[in-house]
Structure 1
Amino acid sequence: MLGNVSELDLRLIRVFLAVVEAGGISAAQTALNTTQPTISAQLATLESRLGFRLCERGRAGFSVTSKGSQFLEAARRLMAAAEGFRVEVQHINRKISGNINIGLLGQIDPVANKKIALAIARLRSHHEGLYFHFTELSSSFLEEKLINGHLDLAIGYFWHRLANIDYFSLFQETQIAYCGPTHPLFDKVGVLNSEDVREHDWVWPSHPLPEMPAPTSIDRLTALTDSMDGAALLILSGQHLGFLPQHYAARHEALGQLHPLNPEQLRYEVGFHAAVRHSARQREAVSAFLAELMAVFGAPE
């Protein structure tokens, strides 16, 4: 006789549980896909190994004994633990593979880039068969390629906020208005206000953001571009004023090529988002990468 529960045959315990759930040996035949004599023999074997009777069966009907009731609760806990173990092992062995096509706005803050890289590293440390394809695009093209399925996920700032795309906030970028050394206002930079700069030409994003109202009338927005480098060249030329990300302009400012008009007043905080089509979120690889991004940026999904 074996009294050690750890040595019991799990298959026999499952037979007992099935009989209890069915309410008797005869009723359990269909669930167990076997005959009544076989079930009776399996119950007898289990009882023999336990050293006590689990249930009464016969003409008087089926009933669980007092010890059988105690064993029943323990058996259910054991089966639940076994199922939890199975799921956990399956998760350990589960691998995500395939490609993720990701679009990025150019010239992202290095600090944010490092976090995106961390999300990639964390995901690939568990799923080596996952491959990333990156494309650098302007904000408008990011949304367009998301919609037509050329991209699975995009990281940038977006102005459409389309209904079939989900947007997840990642981080804020500081945009400051700058002036080049040959511009007429350069000698006054640092203290200029909105009225001082209103009558000058500006370079402006082709697709403006809701966080950034235009600093002047539309006829003074004489250059439109989605290129950060293009905007910087126009400002450096001395012909235009314009906003640039603070981290991007810092190198020009250090060389004396650009200077903020008024960093306390002429500035905006622009939100960067991860954008994903509703349908793309159903893909396991995309969903996993999005979860890692939310984790490294500390943002709720």
Structure 2
Amino acid sequence: MLTSLSDLDLRLVRVFLAVVDARGVTAAEATVGARQSTISSQLSVLETRIGFALCERGRGGFRLTPKGERFVVLARALLAQTAQFVAQVQHIDRKLVGTLSIGMIGHASLDENARLAKAIATFRQRDEAVRFHMRVATSTELETQILNQQLDLAIGYFSHRADGIAYSKLFDERQVICCGRGHPLFHHRGQVQIEHLRAHHWVWRTYPVPEEIASISERQVTATADNVDAATVLILSGRHIGYLPKHHAHAFEQRGLIRVLNETAFGFDVPHQLASRPRQRDNPIVQAFCEDLLEAYGKQRGSAASSSRDTSTDGNVNI
């Protein structure tokens, strides 16, 4: 049973988290810089030190035990605090010292990315020594990483509203139905009606977007995609129709490769939100960056720290 912590224990914890992030011992070899047999031995030593099994590994694959899942959260918090301590000692004369982990879903418009970049530039003018970590993932993954304390905040569309996360609307992203050159609807544009859409093959996104609000029932979904790029390829084939962000479709439309179908009838807006754990409003780094971010979006300063409510019906929530 673990009663004290040594440098060796910290190294073993880092190896364990590398395996967790790689989702397997073999996949973690490159990250750890060791062979599978060595990594397995290190995991066994760690399990002996703490007194319980962290994971199942072998021919059946890699899987965390219930205690292992709880240990992951504690281990990440430990390493984060260790890194925070080192950074604070190195920059003890600075006001804001530490790390800031930001998640994004990707494929935001140039305007929205420019606002995020402006917020980062403004934050860098503060008396700070902060290391940024940026990560791109699906909205569901981002929410999970916020709850697991892998991310401090994230920007994206979040349809189901996870418990323990507060949301604040930043902007809307327009979603439009598209088809590729060679598709039977390519030359119809605004004349397309619901019955036309029901008669053709669809690509559907596996990540949550409230596409059902378009009220197009009985679709022929014959393809799925877990990101915008994959959906775009299927639409470009000329054999599928599906939703894309309007700003993303625009570049292809300019080249005559994609057509937007009756945006007036079937286009809709998806709110993109700033998400974080409510308690993070007390973190001075997160609070300062949220102020700069909201200012870049023309929001009022202080709204990022004034409330810990989870969400509201219109998505406009302070965090």
Which bracket does the TM-score occupy, shorter chain normalised?
0.5 to 0.7
Distance 2:280 2:205 in 1: 28
Distance 1:124-1:177 versus aligned 2 partners, 3 A rule: same
Distance 1:221-1:211 versus aligned 2 partners, 3 A rule: closer
Q: In the TM superposition, what is the alpha-carbon distance from 1:201 to its structure 2 partner?
A: 1.9
1:283 aligns with 2:283: yes
Q: In the TM superposition, what is the alpha-carbon distance from 1:162 to its structure 2 partner?
A: 1.5
Distance 1:221 1:271 in 2: 25
1:127 aligns with 2:124: no
Q: In the TM superposition, what is the alpha-carbon distance from 1:273 to its structure 2 partner?
A: 0.4
1:206 aligns with 2:206: yes
Q: In the TM superposition, what is the alpha-carbon distance from 1:196 to its structure 2 partner?
A: 1.8
Is 2:94–2:128's contact at 8 Å kept on the other side of the alignment?
no
Residue in 1 aligned with 2:234? 234
Residue in 2 aligned with 1:88? none
Spell out, residue by residue over 1:123-168, the C-alpha distance to the aligned partner (whole angstroms, 9 max, x if none): 1101340221101111121111111111110001111211210101
Distance 1:162 1:277 in 2: 10
Is 1:102–1:154's contact at 8 Å kept on the other side of the alignment?
yes
1:101 aligns with 2:101: yes
TM-score norm. by structure 1 comes to 0.65
SS of 1:213's equivalent in the other structure is helix
TM-score norm. by structure 2 comes to 0.62
Distance 2:115 2:212 in 1: 25
Residue in 1 aligned with 2:224? 224
Aligned residue identity for 1:279: R
Unpaired segments of 5 or more residues in structure 1? Answer: 1-92
SS of 2:116's equivalent in the other structure is helix
Distance 2:157 2:269 in 1: 11
Residue in 2 aligned with 1:257? 257
Residue in 1 aligned with 2:137? 137
Q: In the TM superposition, what is the alpha-carbon distance from 1:194 to its structure 2 partner?
A: 2.1
Distance 1:180-1:215 versus aligned 2 partners, 3 A rule: farther
Spell out, residue by residue over 1:77-135, the C-alpha distance to the aligned partner (whole angstroms, 9 max, x if none): xxxxxxxxxxxxxxxx9611111011111111110111111111111101340221101
Computing the radius of gyration over CA atoms, which structure comes out larger, 1 or 2?
1
Is 2:102–2:133's contact at 8 Å kept on the other side of the alignment?
yes
SS of 1:279's equivalent in the other structure is helix
Distance 2:194 2:183 in 1: 16
Runs of 4+ in 1 over 4 A off after TM superposition: none
Aligned residue identity for 1:170: L
Q: How does 1:1-301 map to 2 (within 5 A)?
A: 95-210=95-210, 212-213=212-213, 216-217=216-217, 220-300=220-300, 301=303
Distance 2:109 2:289 in 1: 20
Query: What is the percent sequence identity of the aligned residues?
Result: 39
Unpaired segments of 5 or more residues in structure 2? Answer: 1-92, 304-319
Aligned residue identity for 1:181: R
